[in-house]
Structure 1
Amino acid sequence: MCCDKGTEEAGPELLAGVSLPAAVLHEAPLAHNLTWMQRFAEAHGARLAPHGKTTMTPALFRRQLEAGAWGITLATAPQCRAAFVHGVTRLLMANQLVGEANMAIVADLLEAGADFYCVVDGAENVRQLGRFFAARRLELQVLIELGVPGGRCGCRDAAQVEALVAAIAEEPALRLVGIEGYEGMIAGGDEVAAVRAYGERLVATVRMLRASGVLESEAPIVTASGSKWFDLIAEAFDEAELREHYTPVLRPGCYVVHDHKLYAGAMADVKARHPHLQDELRPALEVFAHVQSLPEPGLAVIALGKRDIGHEPDLPLPLRLHPLVSQPAAATTPVDISAWRTTHIMDQHVFLAIPQDAEIAVGDVIAFGTSHPCLTFDKWRRLLLVDEDLRVKENLATCF
């Protein structure tokens, strides 16, 4: 039998009936975030294609689509296949499609009826795609990726874009339908101004391509946005002409569960830039684990480790102590321990610096938050959706 962490062993009560550690999604903030980001995108005249690589959780894809998402963004061909198998028909692969095995996966998806898009940034990849999909007698929709100097993938300048347009025109199996970008690699100097300029560059480029007649779409796609600068990209896309003649698409992924530090700080910056913005995203993902050992004063060792929770860019963040043993009469009243500090993490252990007089016992439960949620999701075959009373409402399977 496989080792399934976080399973219900003795009932739906998280603190008593579940094998800990367990990755937990809180129902209320999850529902809030789904609605909040969908409304934000729509208010700016944009569609929402959440980045599914964050969670790779089909039940969350379904909730995002039901909330109004235009499609789901993925990073790899196998991720696209997993999403399609679970009912996602519009797939935006914000990445280059490289390698014949991966091309074959996408060809199968197209033959099965998927509305699929990927990005290109080089002539050789264009030629490879053209040959493969022509041989399969299929058309592949592609977006030119616009990069930034020193960044990740993508054309660096207008000359590269022009050369790529010419290369795509030589491949009858490829349809150029828009522009894609990722602003998350912009760093240093006045980042806000640089991101705004990048958004304007995306819009100017897609307009130029549409005016030149090379785009094979009545409503060309212009898409960008991670989870940090989504407001600035939305500003660039929020124009009447884009709403009417283009398909602006935002692609944040982490918003669905948010976090307790990295994106919490980014959300504070969004609010500072837009002081009249109503409400904000709320953290929905936590990992619960037992206090395992109290080997010396000032130190608690928690039964949680790198195999259970992300630890980059910050170590796990202690949030609340559920005193099941140290104060059993108050077990339903969690204690705020956000002032405590994680000092070290190993494969299966977290070292927690605690006050000398802390009321804590082996068997108590601690809820930890994360800074950047992506690398917590991929450590779990299932996550538990819980209500405000920490009762398990649903098991959510992942597809990593």
Structure 2
Amino acid sequence: MSDVSPESTAFPTAPARAEHKGLPETGPRLLADVSLPAAVLHEASLAHNLGWMQAFCEAHGALLAPHGKTTMAPALFRRQLEVGAWAITLATAPQCRAAFVNGVTRLLLANQLVGRANMAIVAELLEAGAELWCLVDSVDNARELDAFFAERGLRLPVLIERGVPGGRCGCRSREEVLALAAVVDAAAGLELSGVEGYEGLVKAEAGASPETAVAAYAADLVDTLIALQRAGWLAVARPLVTASGSAWHDIVAEALRDAGLDERVRRVMRPGCYVTHDHGLYGEAQARVLGRRPALGEGLRPALEVFAQVQSLPEPGLAIVAMGRRDVGGDRLPRALRRYREGGTADRTLSVKGWRVETLMDQHAFVRLPEAAHEVRVGDIVAFGVSHPCLTFDKWRRLCRVNEALEVVEVLATCF
């Protein structure tokens, strides 16, 4: 749950502050009252992204089940659902439970469910009224799930995962899919509800473009679903076909839209990083999407930044910033975006031209400065852009949502 309601200027109590970093201490001003470093969500960009992806899916006749593992922030789950999301996707059974206790009742577990303890979590969620689907890609797992859920008097809805050679999980051939479907069809504790895939690890063959390879994979998902329908192995009237991360959503959406599927088939998209977007990996992916689809207009906006202070200026051309691997994801180094004086205002920014993060340690960033950077002071506040938001969100148990004046209007909790 969020510590304060949206647009409130109330702040956590002292005990709550004592347990978490990056929170308001003396008032709402990010540049004066918040203990830095802090993870910051910009409301204008956040709201834009929520509406943009929802409208994109609806325009393509798809349902949106955003991947909640990106943020694990119940307040954001609620906003995604309020805007129109059909479900929330999660990666683990405990994540599903965390979402359910925070009001999410339709859950897509985008992995095989392995281990009796995890099966028990899912069984309890089903018994409590959750709608929940999970994946299956092996006969052994299907039989274990069947034995567990049949003993509990439950039927677990499952989607067969279609993988790719050298990829992650999933059946590697149509023959494996059909053999597995026969086992699921005979299982009293399982209900075959459709097919699932993840296109992010599809590799193009020599001479083929990545776009062509992803489109072919999406088409194969549709063909797999049709094969299961023809065999009579789908146990539900409204089966699911689902794919899509945050990099290839345009190609997947168009492939599913144009496949001529029965209207009863639910086409479900599962991007997660779109909600905050980023200044790195997904920023580059979005540029490629807009290059392919210029009619989409502006696209997504980066909404997540980490604000941190210059801690030391130990030698010419070097700033040590109080932000490290415990604060920001490290698949790519963060990027300096803007600088402020402590106690300043949102409209008074200072240059970070030529600033380059060279190294991250646990709590420090080594930032190389250009020769012209003479006005830098200890205590200056720098806004950094991140890459791959999943890897930054999990560093924080509380994030600050701010308005355009850089005033904290909500403190959001995560439940990793």
Report the TM-score, using the length of structure 2 for normalisation: 0.93
Mapped to 2, the partners of 1:72 and 1:386 lie a distance apart of 24
Shift of 1:339: 3.4
Q: Is the 8 A contact 1:45 1:243 kept in 2?
A: no
Structure-1 separation of matches of 2:138 and 2:389: 32
Would the alpha carbon gap of residues 260 and 336 (structure 1) be closer, same or farther in structure 2, given more than 3 Å must change?
farther
Cα distance in 1 for partners of 2:351, 2:127 equals 53
Secondary structure (helix, strand or coil) at the match of 1:342 reads: strand
Q: Deviations over 1:55-95 (max 9, x none)?
A: 00000000000000000000000000000000000000000
Equivalent runs, 1:145-164 vs 2, <5 Å: 145-164=161-180
Query: Superposed, which structure 2 residues align to 1:1-400 within 5 Å?
Result: 3-189=19-205, 190-239=209-258, 241-242=260-261, 244-312=263-331, 314-324=332-342, 332-337=347-352, 339-358=354-373, 359-400=375-416
Q: Shift of the alpha carbon at 1:212?
A: 1.6
Structure 1 stretches of 4+ with a deviation exceeding 6 A read: none
5+ unaligned residues in a row in structure 1: which ranges? none
Contact 2:346/2:406 (CA < 8 Å) preserved in 1? no
Kindly tell me the number of residue pairs found equivalent between the two proteins.
396
Q: Cα deviation per residue 1:186-222 (whole Å; 9 max; x = unaligned)?
A: 2355211110100000011111111221101112100
Residues 335 and 164 of structure 1: CA distance in aligned 2, closer, same or farther (over 3 Å): same
| CA deviation map 1:314-368 (0-9, x unaligned) | 101111111338xx7x884113425321000000000001112312100000000
- CA gap of 1:185–1:336, structure 2 versus 1, over 3 A, is farther
Offset of residue 311 of structure 1: 1.3
Question: Which position in structure 1 is the counterpart of 2:5?
Answer: none
* Residue segments in structure 2 that go unaligned for 5+ positions in a row: 1-14
Between the aligned residues of both structures, percent identity stands at 61
Amino acid at match of 1:369: G
3-state SS in 1 of match to 2:44: helix
Contact map agreement 1:46 1:243 (CA 8 A) in 2: no
What is the alpha-carbon distance in structure 2 between the residues aligned to residue 58 and residue 291 of structure 1?
A: 32
- Which amino acid is the alignment partner of residue 364 of structure 1? D
Q: Distance in 2 between matches of 1:75 and 1:128?
A: 19
Q: Distance in 1 between matches of 2:291 and 2:337?
A: 25
Q: CA RMSD in A?
A: 1.4
Q: 1:163, CA displacement in angstroms? A: 1.1
Q: Distance in 2 between matches of 1:286 and 1:307?
A: 14
